[in-house]
Amino acid sequence: MTEGQGEPMLSDRELFEQIVDILGPLANVGSKITADTDLVADLSLDSLKIMEFLLEIEDRFDISVPINVLSDIRTVRDVIFQLQRLLAEAD
């Protein structure tokens, strides 16, 4: 776990669990979500649901997530990477 100036940074595992928790009701699928799960191909999230996903992430982590990051996000692992970057910037 990386220490920032304020709250301690969340670990990859903690971020993953929180993301899965947010994705659950949006994806509405029984299949197991892993870091390699593709948001569109595996979870069938359409553009509206992906936008809703970002809003939920913003509120869960109390950060700003520009929709510009979407071009760099395909899998859950990509989400974790972008989230770590944004949390570090916000710290």
Partner 1 sequence: MGIFDKFQKLAETRKALEKNSSEFFNVVIEKVVSPTDVIINGRSVLLAGGNNYLGLTFNPECIRAASEAIRIAGTGTTGSRVANGTYSGHVALEQELSEFFGRRHTIIFSTGYIACMAMVATLAGRGDVILLDADCHASIYDGCRMGEADVIRFRHNDVQDLEKRLHRLEKRQTNVLIVVEGIYSMMGDRAPLADIAALKRRYGAYLLIDEAHSLGVLGNTGRGLAEEAGVDDSVDFIVGTFSKSLGSTGGFCTSNHPEFDLVRYASRAYIFTASSSPSIIASTRMALKILRSQPELKHRLWNHANLLYQRLKDLGLSLGPTPSPIIAICCKDPWKTAEIWKGLLDLGIYVNMVLPPATPDGRALLRCSLSASHTREQVEKIGDAFASLKAKHPNDW
Considering the complex, what minimum distance in angstroms separates the CB of residue 13 from partner 1? Answer: 25
Distances (CA, A) of 85 to 7, 10, 25: 15, 12, 25
Among 36, 66, 72, 85, binds partner 1 (CB under 8 A): 66
Instruction: Tell me whether residue 9 or residue 26 sits nearer to partner 1 (CB atom).
Output: 26
What is the rounded distance in angstroms from the CA atom of residue 38 to the CA atom of residue 61?
Answer: 22
Instruction: Tell me whether residue 12 or residue 58 sits nearer to partner 1 (CB atom).
Output: 58
Query: How many CA atoms lie less than 13 Å away from 87 in the CB half-sphere?
Result: 23
Among 18, 35, 42, 58, binds partner 1 (CB under 8 A): 58
